[in-house]
Each structure stands twice: as C-alpha cells, then as structure tokens.
A and B are shown apart, each in its own frame.
Chain A
Amino acid sequence: MKKAFPIFALLTAVLLSYALYLALVWAPTEQTMGDVQRIFYYHVPSAWTAFLLFLINFVASVWYLVWRSVKADIIALVSAEVGVVFCTVVLVTGPIWARPVWGIWWTWDMRLTLTLVLWLIYVAYLVLRRFSSGTQTPLMAAVLAVFGALDVPLVYFSIWYFRTQHPSPVIGKGGSLDPRMWHVLLINWLAFLCFAFLVSWSRYRLEKTKREVEEMLALEALLEPKGLR
C-alpha cells in the first residue's frame, strides 16, 4: 500500500479535477435554479460519503463490541472523524444553496434538523474520544456510535416520510434527473470516495503509529522507577 499510495493520490487528484470540470462546465444548466444548482454536485456526494463513513463506523463499533479488536476501534474513530468532515461540508453547502433558492439560509425542517443532530452526535463521539482517557473509553464510544447510527436512516428517509422543504429525492422512487446530471453526480461521488479513502488511510496510519508510541512511553514509564533500563 505504501508504494501504491502516491500513485493513488495522483489519480484521485486527476479525478477530482475532472469531476470539478464536469460539475462547473460540462453539466447542463438547470432551468429553474440556474448555475447555483451545481452546488448539488458537491452537496449530495458529500452527504452520501458521510453516510457511508458513519455506516463503517457503526460496523466497526459492533465489531469492537463483539471482539474487542483494536483495529476495529481505530477504524471506528477514523471513519467518524472523516465522516464529520464530510457532514460539515453538507451543512455548509446546503445553506449556501438555500439562500438564493429559498431566500433563507436555514429552516428547522425535518431533513435539515436531523442532519444537524447527526453532526452533533458524531462531534460528541469525537469529543468523548478526545477528552476521556479511561480504558472504558472505546467501549463507551462504541455504544454511543451504535445509537448514533440510528439517525442515519432517519436523515436519509426523512424526505420520503415527512413533509419537508428539502428537495424531493433524485434517485429511487420519484427521481427524474437528467442522464448527464446523473453522470456528473456519480463521477463526483467516485472522486469524493477516492479522496475519503486516501484521507482515512492516512489518518488510520497516524492513529496506529500514535498508539504504538503511547505504548512505548507507557512501557518506559513502567521500567524507569525500578531502574530496569
């Protein structure tokens, strides 16, 4: 993986540039909203990537609860952290789109409020992991993650089951997206997925090394008072 990393990073950069070109230039202009609709090509793939990362966090947390695997604990932490970054993008780009289209930055409708709650749950998860140092921290974090994941399907399906101001789904039942827009949306999602994988992989390596250093420091502290070094 170490040798493949720079090549994959370069390919991801090329793909992100191509996706940006498609979104800003190649994609057709939407008739009602005009160019501001192009925010959709960053907003929606970021949301899907965040959902996927929170799903990985859920699976890794269950894996940790069952097997007490350190690897699962690191994957859970990393996926939550990168997921929060993508969810932040969703919460920032959404209001920037809403202002010219709806005339307001924010409204407390079901989809928007549940997305904010989702972000807050995972920020709380990261705060717990950052400031709690007990041996039970990974266990408590895993339990919080399992409950937090319940909000993901609520966010996703809220536009089907509640009356919201958020636009109707463009995929699945009721979706009617132009095939060229679909193409741009999927290329952008692929680019964001590759980028998320690269960032997550770097963060995973960092966390693994950090824990190894902490173990060495703890071992050193144990040996020092007895003069065993």
Chain B
Amino acid sequence: MTYLYAAYAATWLIHIAYLGSVLARYQRLQREMQELKKR
C-alpha cells in the first residue's frame, strides 16, 4: 500500500506544484498590470 499511496501523492504533488507556478505567474502579471495602470 505504501507504493500505491506514494504514487497517488506524487501525482497530486506534481499537479499542485504546477498550479502553484501558474498562480505565481498570474500574480506577477497582475502586479505588472497595476503598475501600468498607475502610469
């Protein structure tokens, strides 16, 4: 069962890590857009 849970946990860790990177890029873009609006 250890291998089974490890595989399922690894799958979601990979997806969550990718979603986190997309979210970080989105937040960076939001900041850039706000700076642009201020000018």
Contacts and interface: CB of A to CB of B under 8 A. Distances in A.
A222 interface: no
Nearest to A96: B7
Interface residues of B, number: 20
Contacts of B29: 206, 209-210, 213
A24 B6 CA distance: 13
Contact of A93 (B11, B15, B18, B25): B11
B4 A89 contact: no
A96 B3 contact: yes
Given A46-B11, A93-B11, A202-B22, A38 B4 contact: yes
Given A96-B3, A199-B19, A199-B22, A89 B32 contact: no
B21 to A, nearest CB: 10
B interface secondary structure, majority? helix
A39 B22 contact: no
Given A213-B29, A213-B32, A217-B36, A206 B22 contact: yes
A interface secondary structure, majority? helix
17 contacts: A20-B8, A38-B4, A39-B4, A42-B8, A43-B7, A88-B14, A89-B11, A89-B15, A92-B7, A93-B7, A96-B7, A97-B3, A199-B15, A199-B18, A206-B25, A210-B25, A213-B33
